[in-house]
Amino acid sequence: MTTISPFTLAIPQAQLDDLNTRLDLTRWPEKECVADWSQGTPLGVLQELVSYWRMSYDWRRCEAKLNALGQFKTEIMGLDVHFLHVRSPRADALPLIITHGWPGSVIEFMGVIEALANPPEGELAFHVVAPSLPGFGFSGKPTETGWGVPKIAFAWTELMSRLGYTKWVAQGGDWGSAVTTAIGVIKPEGCLGIHLNMPIGRPEPEDLANPSPAEQRALAALKHYQDWDAGYSKQQSTRPQSVGYGLVDSPVGLAGWILEKMWAWTDNSGSPYDALSKDQILDNLMLYWLPGTGASSARLYWESFGAFAPVEITLPVAVSAYPKEILPTPRKWAERSFKNLVHWGEMEKGGHFAAWERPAEFVSELRTAFALMR
């Protein structure tokens, strides 16, 4: 099947009423024993967000914005793929497929799509395709194993072909980085190059013996991740079904699981709201809550956590390196894998969610990078 069908979100009010009931009936744990985030999402912080979710948040606003952009579904390899598709009015626009990660969604790109598709005169324009990963958002949930990073990369290639794009580029961070890297490895006909905001590299023994300042920062970040920040990935890569019950059944459990990453992975001064608004965070949460993807999204870790490893790519590659990236890769490490590195942008601010946190700089980086690949 190659049919592409328009998709309109119209969540039944009964689902929103059920959410409100669950929020009202939350059974809260006791307060943490520390005065910081070191035991996880603080009780007071989460209660504040949940109060806003219950009393002030407007899902219909988000729903209308998604519908206005243009949503579609198509079946690829037996699975429904949901995607945003915004064509530029410019005849010379470059097709771009842009991929989110966990715990994100297409909501990450809401602040950059219009700028990419409708730039000032003389700036590079893009036809933007933003799919929801399998098991995320309103894409289908795989019912059998196999939907890991390589299969997703082939599916995205098929999607671009199905949309009629013969020359295109790809971008991603987090799982989107792994999928986009896989696209670079398979070198599909028509892909001109890729851009990553979380490239994966690893040190060699000589790097460990005499690390540069950039390598020292990367090694310290890797140690912090392994010691204090990787519990979620270990759980989701080994027992996604077990954690999924709570994430699908409890909106507060889901919020507590994800909000901590909004704090830990953004460039902020102590609060996740320094980087993202409550509405942005809740819009994203709703794309996990409404379709019930707590287990299916976690399952991607079980399928493909090993995909985050250095691989050689000969296609043109561009990188934007953000200072608060959770696993920074120094340029020296990246150059070992990327044999045709055409752009390396060292950003002054920003964290793991590049497009979400720093939309203007992100758009500028993509224009600079992909102009070198046309």
Give the model's confidence band at 306: pLDDT under 50 very low, under 70 low, under 90 confident, else very high.
confident
Which of 140-144, 202-206, 227-231, 361-365 is the least confident region?
Answer: 202-206
- Kindly tell me the burial class for residue 21, based on how many C-beta atoms sit within 10 Å of its own C-beta (0-12, 13-18, 19 or more): exposed
Q: How far apart are CA 322 and CA 71, in angstroms?
A: 30
Percent of the chain with pLDDT over 90: 97
Q: Domain residue spans in the chain?
A: 39-371
Q: How far apart are CA 294 and CA 75, in angstroms?
A: 22
Give the model's confidence band at 1: pLDDT under 50 very low, under 70 low, under 90 confident, else very high.
low
Q: Which CATH code for domain 39-371?
A: 3.40.50.1820
Structure confidence by residue, pLDDT tens digits, 41-67: 999 999 999 999 999 999 999 999 999
Q: What is the pTM of this model?
A: 0.97
| Maximum alpha-carbon separation in the chain | 61
CA-based nearest residue to 46, from 346, 281, 355, 332: 281
Q: DSSP of 11-30, one letter per residue? A: --HHHHHHHHHHHHT--PPP
Q: How far apart are CA 198 and CA 175, in angstroms?
A: 9
Residue 307 has pLDDT above 90, yes or no: no
Percent of the chain with pLDDT over 70: 100
Give the model's confidence band at 80: pLDDT under 50 very low, under 70 low, under 90 confident, else very high.
very high
Q: How far apart are CA 109 and CA 9, in angstroms?
A: 18
